[in-house]
């Protein structure tokens, strides 16, 4: 049994390979989907069915035949493709308007972003592996210095982590890549340090190289990413998977920032408790004469 495609490229390859064996209706659906990927990324099932000249149930049956639980699950791959290929926000906005025929106002967008982010925050505790969370804290607590890196939009999360760790009195170093010197900055990592990399699809090359460097040198690596199948997760000692909100192909950072804040403050609580225990042991020891 073939595995469910995990990205648009593998889905396109599967559809192409299976096309001769599909029924006439499913072949018609396949041609429409591959010929109009931009529209498929955003339009409703009803609208797509009308444009493709099939019934909504045919679209759902098509998705099911490739291992997806529903059409919306398959549609996510079309959206991810658009995000990867249209990094420019202006182009992405134009693509959404063309595909949906909508021009949302600021109030509508505010409600949509707020609702989507509220949903992912509600799901975050249940989706987070608590053993992995504690293991990440173990690595950070044991490290002399925690190095933190995130490229492009992930930089927001990484920079907050570095800021928060400084305020809980944990030595930290933000790998900013200033002057394109990511690898040079990573050379400052010591054998007793740890590295945290934040990276989301399409996974910046600089982040991959940082994870590979830590893995090669045996430096503990904690990764915050969006899939257990990401190339960084396979290298990590601890991988924390975060599902972010997405509205009209624009992905948020709310859940990642919440998880990062949790890590930093939980580490601060651990360190404060450890200091109290040391103080109590000192008070209980015999006076030196």
Q: What is the pLDDT of residues 185-244, one digit of tens each?
A: 898 999 999 999 999 987 889 999 999 999 999 999 999 998 887 889 889 999 999 988
- The DSSP line for 193-240 is -EEEEE--TT--HHHHHHHHHHHHHT--EEEEES-TTSTTTTT-SEEE
Residues in CB range of 75: below 8 A, 6 or more apart: 40, 41
Span 168-179, pLDDT tens digits: 999 999 999 888
Mean pLDDT over each residue of the chain, to the nearest integer? 87
Under 8 Å between Cβ of 153 and 200: yes
88 — pLDDT class (breaks 50, 70, 90): low
87 — pLDDT class (breaks 50, 70, 90): low
SS3 147: strand
pLDDT of residue 226: 87
pLDDT of residue 121: 94
SS3 173: strand
Q: How far is 194 from 263, CA to CA, in rounded Å?
A: 14
Residue 155 has pLDDT above 50, yes or no: yes
Under 8 Å between Cβ of 259 and 124: yes
Under 8 Å between Cβ of 78 and 40: yes
Q: How far is 173 from 188, CA to CA, in rounded Å?
A: 9
Mode of pairing for the β-strands spanning 246-247 and 250-251: antiparallel
SS3 181: coil
pLDDT of residue 192: 95
């Amino acid at each position: 049994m073939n595995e469910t495609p995990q990205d648009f490229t593998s889905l396109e390859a599967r559809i192409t390979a299976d096309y001769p064996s599909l029924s006439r209706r499913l072949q018609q659906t396949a041609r429409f989907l591959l010929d109009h990927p931009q529209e498929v990324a955003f339009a409703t099932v009803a609208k797509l069915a009308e444009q493709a000249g099939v019934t909504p149930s045919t679209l759902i049956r098509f998705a099911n035949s490739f291992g997806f639980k529903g059409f919306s699950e398959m549609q996510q791959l079309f959206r991810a493709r658009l995000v990867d290929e249209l990094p420019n926000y202006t182009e992405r906005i134009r693509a959404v308007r063309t595909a949906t025929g909508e021009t949302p106002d600021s109030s509508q967008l505010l409600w949509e972003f707020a609702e989507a982010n509220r949903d992912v925050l509600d799901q975050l505790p249940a989706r987070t592996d608590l053993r992995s969370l504690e293991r990440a804290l173990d690595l950070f607590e044991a490290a002399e210095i925690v190095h933190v890196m995130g490229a492009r939009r992930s930089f927001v999360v990484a920079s907050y982590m570095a800021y928060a760790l400084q305020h809980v009195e944990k030595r930290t170093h933000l790998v900013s890549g200033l002057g394109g010197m990511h690898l040079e900055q990573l050379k400052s990592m010591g054998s007793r340090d740890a590295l945290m990399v934040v990276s989301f699809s399409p996974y910046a090359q600089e982040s991959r190289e940082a994870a590979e460097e830590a893995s090669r040198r045996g430096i503990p690596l904690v990764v915050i990413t969006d899939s257990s199948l990401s190339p960084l997760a396979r290298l990590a000692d601890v991988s924390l998977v975060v599902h972010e909100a997405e509205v009209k192909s624009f992905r948020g950072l709310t859940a990642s920032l919440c998880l990062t804040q949790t890590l930093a403050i939980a580490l601060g609580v651990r360190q404060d408790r450890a200091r109290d225990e040391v103080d109590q042991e000192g008070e209980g020891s015999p006076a030196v004469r």
